[in-house]
Amino acid sequence: ERLSEEKRQLEVLYLPSGEFLSQASLGYRNLAADILWFKTIQYYGGYRRGENDLALFSHLVDVITDLDPQFVFAYLFGGLVIAQDLGYLEEGMAFLQKGIENNPTDWWLVFELGFLHYVYARDFETAARYFQLASRLPGAGGITKRFAAFVAAKAGHVQTSIAMWKDLAETSEHPHIRELARQYIEKLEQERRSTQ
């Protein structure tokens, strides 16, 4: 098992560029990306077990997404690991931006970029903008609208937030979401009255 782990680390250490692998894959770029994805998961698992660091992680996910630009989950996982585990917030955001450029209608990538701005950068203005954009993309989950409304208030756009919560209160299929929206509307209107 120890020799197997060392072999896996060496395989990752000498990984060539995505451009080289694209040519070497003889047209099987997605297959090459999938094989490399399994190696990346093993590499990350080794990190979680304390067997290696993540020094090569960014290179791995970059090569994977060069081979398969539509591999959305690689961008999501990669961006979060780069930002959170490696502590490179700007690099993690740039990696998610690469994903958005290659998959402009994917709401999840836009939402996660907003999430990094909200949680790690504490940039509520930018986060609100990304959450609102995500909420307008095809197939967006209801969570995008709730985050957009919530963070708009955090960014100081109380009237916009109230309008978004009102839309949720009127259009959500879930009674508990409609009730949550009404509670936020009441809270925000109360806060607005107290500051006037």
pTM of the model: 0.81
Distance CA 184, CA 169 (A): 10
pLDDT, residue 46, reads 87
Pull the structure tokens for residue 78: 């990669």
Distance CA 13, CA 57 (A): 10
pLDDT, residue 194, reads 82
pLDDT, residue 172, reads 87
Q: Give the residue carrying structure tokens 């709730």.
A: 146
Q: Low-confidence residues of the chain, pLDDT below 70?
A: 1-29, 196
Distance CA 67, CA 137 (A): 25
pLDDT, residue 1, reads 52
pLDDT, residue 49, reads 87
pLDDT, residue 130, reads 97
